[in-house]
Structure 1
Amino acid sequence: MDVVTIGETMVLFVPNNVGPLRFASQFEKTVGGAESNVMIALSRLGHETGWISRLGEDEFGLYIRQFIRGEGIDISRVTYDTAYPTAVFFKERQAAQDPKIYFYRKGSAASQMTPEMLDEAYIAQAKILHLTGILPALSPSCRETAYRAIEIARKHGLKVVFDPNIRLKLWSKEEAKEVLMDLASRCDIVMPGIEEGEILTGETEPERIAAALLRNGAQAVVLKLGEQGAFYATPEQQEYVAGYPVKQIVDTVGAGDGFAAGFLSGLLRGWSYTEAVRLGNRIGAFALTVPGDVEGYPFWSQVDPNAKAQILR
């Protein structure tokens, strides 16, 4: 197993028309969830991935199970709940703007995850544990689950990669900062967006955000900068890596997860941080070109059918 992750995936409804949801009458159904988004993108890039979660034993849960398993992801450690439902969310499309997102996830099956549900041997076989800041925001037991997963990963020598993925609809800015900075201090690589970095550190410049997170305990920081690309820093080096131009942006949701997958793919291939970040930028750019969270993620043959030299130009 290359990468294992833990988190909630929901059924996503996207209206066919642009404008307020109250005027929408027809929707496309798909799935969305930061952690499974990353695993889907990694699977398409040729890596073995596993997703740990809890779904409602309902039609939406069955749909998610089929969808994610169909992407080649191992779901053998997903459990099912008869008392709590699978969550859903809606995307409101807006012309020339980022979409608005409406979540219906309170009391979901995934929020009932506990540390006891984690299979230590299953996590131990992976090379990387990928976590986001969404899991600890879902419930107190999910927060305990995140800490326990990191504990298992560190015990068995996995690299722990943490994307804060701050969702202020789930908790306050103050609570998010306290918990996520503590979690980040236990992880090897921290990869926030620029606004998330500002929330966590109080700094506004990429170099200062990265320095604060390195002092907090991370071995490396990768800061997502949107169309400007990304900035990474370790105690030994730092660099801005330019993004890939996209002629027409259709949907920004899922781009950050695509970046994370590309970056992790580069690390798994033994590439340098510069090379891995550049690949992250490219995969993130693919995600911008179509509606939906995962529909734009490419297969490896679409990225570079020959060798990494093409990617690094």
Structure 2
Amino acid sequence: MDVVTIGESMVLFTPESSPLMRYSHTFSRKFGGAESNVAIGLARLGHRSGWISKVGNDEFGKAMVGFIRGEGVDVSHVTFSDEAATGIYFKEVRRANDVRVEYYRKGSAASTMQPYELDPSYIATSRFLHITGITPALSDSCYETVKKAVEIAKQHGIKVVFDPNLRRKLWSEERAREVLLELASLADIILPGIDEGRFMFGVDDPEKLGNLFLQNGSALVILKVGAKGAFYFTEKESALVPGYPVEEVVDPVGAGDGFAAGVLSGLLDGISLDAAVARGNAVGAMATMVQGDFEGLPERSEIERFTQQTNLEDVHR
């Protein structure tokens, strides 16, 4: 396995007849979750990805697992709960810069994940363990499960990749900051956004944030700065990798997951760090052009076509 990730995915309902839920009588049903989005993105790029989770033993859970399996992701370590239901959320895309999400996930099946349910041999077969700051926010047992997964990865020399993916509605700011900093200190690679860096350290200067994350324990920091692209920082070098221009942002949700998938794909392929971050920028940009959390995640040939068609002079200006 190239990448194993762990976290909750939910059933996603989006209004069809009106952007506002109050006026909509019909909804489209899809699926979404940061970790499974990354796994799907990697599978589309030709990598072997596995998703660890728990869903309800209900029709939504069965449909979700079947769908993600159909996207080429290994779901052999997803379990079903007879006591808790699959989580649900609703997304209103009022405008590209006004996307509103309402979660109905409290007490969901995924929130009951336990450390003892992890199979150490499964994580040990991967090259990267991908985690986010969403899963530990779901419950104390989820926090302990993520910590256990990181411990297993460390024991077997597996690199840990951490996307803070801050969700303020899920926990208090104090607890969120404490856990995100703790997981960042355990991660080999961290993928924060500029807003998450500000939340965690109280500063928003990219260079200062890069150094703070390095001092906190990460060996590689890749700091997303929106349309401008992303900075990367190591002990030896740092640089800004420009983003790709997007004429119209249709749906920004899932862009960060696409970025993570693109960067991990580049690292798995052994290309330069600059090129890996550029691939992340390209996948993230393409994800914003299509409505849905993962629907816009490209296959490898699509990335090549997109980057060739993009005016590189504009990108690097």
TM-score by length of 1: 0.96
Aligned equivalent of 2:196 = 196
Letter in 2 for 1:50: G
Aligned equivalent of 2:207 = 207
Q: Deviation at 1:304?
A: 2.2
Distance 1:25 1:263 in 2: 39
SS of the equivalent of 1:241 reads strand
Q: Deviation at 1:311?
A: 9.7
Aligned equivalent of 2:291 = 291
Q: 1:309 to 1:16 in 2, by over 3 A?
A: closer
Letter in 2 for 1:127: R
Instruction: Work out whether residues 96 and 252 of structure 2, in 8 Å CA contact, stay in contact via their aligned partners in 1.
Output: no
Q: Does 1:229 align with 2:233?
A: no
Give the 4+ runs in structure 1 shifted more than 2 A.
17-20, 95-98, 308-313
Q: Deviation at 1:254?
A: 0.4
Q: Residue deviations 1:66-91, cap 9 Å, x none?
A: 11000011000111001100000000
Q: Does 1:182 align with 2:182?
A: yes
Distance 2:241 2:304 in 1: 19
Letter in 2 for 1:67: F
Q: Residue deviations 1:25-49, cap 9 Å, x none?
A: 1111110000000000000000000
Aligned equivalent of 1:136 = 136
Letter in 2 for 1:241: V
Letter in 2 for 1:171: W
Distance 2:235 2:20 in 1: 47
SS of the equivalent of 1:149 reads helix
Q: Residue deviations 1:263-282, cap 9 Å, x none?
A: 00000000121111000000
Instruction: Work out whether residues 17 and 93 of structure 1, in 8 Å CA contact, stay in contact via their aligned partners in 2.
Output: no
Q: Deviation at 1:191?
A: 0.7
Aligned equivalent of 1:269 = 269
Aligned equivalent of 2:244 = 244
Aligned equivalent of 1:103 = 103
Instruction: Work out whether residues 303 and 311 of structure 1, in 8 Å CA contact, stay in contact via their aligned partners in 2.
Output: no
Q: 1:53 to 1:70 in 2, by over 3 A?
A: same
Q: 1:145 to 1:15 in 2, by over 3 A?
A: same
Distance 2:309 2:290 in 1: 23
Instruction: Work out whether residues 191 and 222 of structure 1, in 8 Å CA contact, stay in contact via their aligned partners in 2.
Output: yes
Distance 1:14 1:281 in 2: 26
Instruction: Work out whether residues 232 and 239 of structure 1, in 8 Å CA contact, stay in contact via their aligned partners in 2.
Output: yes
Instruction: Work out whether residues 133 and 164 of structure 1, in 8 Å CA contact, stay in contact via their aligned partners in 2.
Output: yes
Count matched residues.
311
Distance 2:35 2:310 in 1: 25
Letter in 2 for 1:251: D
Q: Deviation at 1:206?
A: 0.8
Q: Deviation at 1:210?
A: 1.1
RMSD: 1.6
Q: Deviation at 1:94?
A: 0.9
Q: Residue deviations 1:113-145, cap 9 Å, x none?
A: 010010000100000000000111000000000
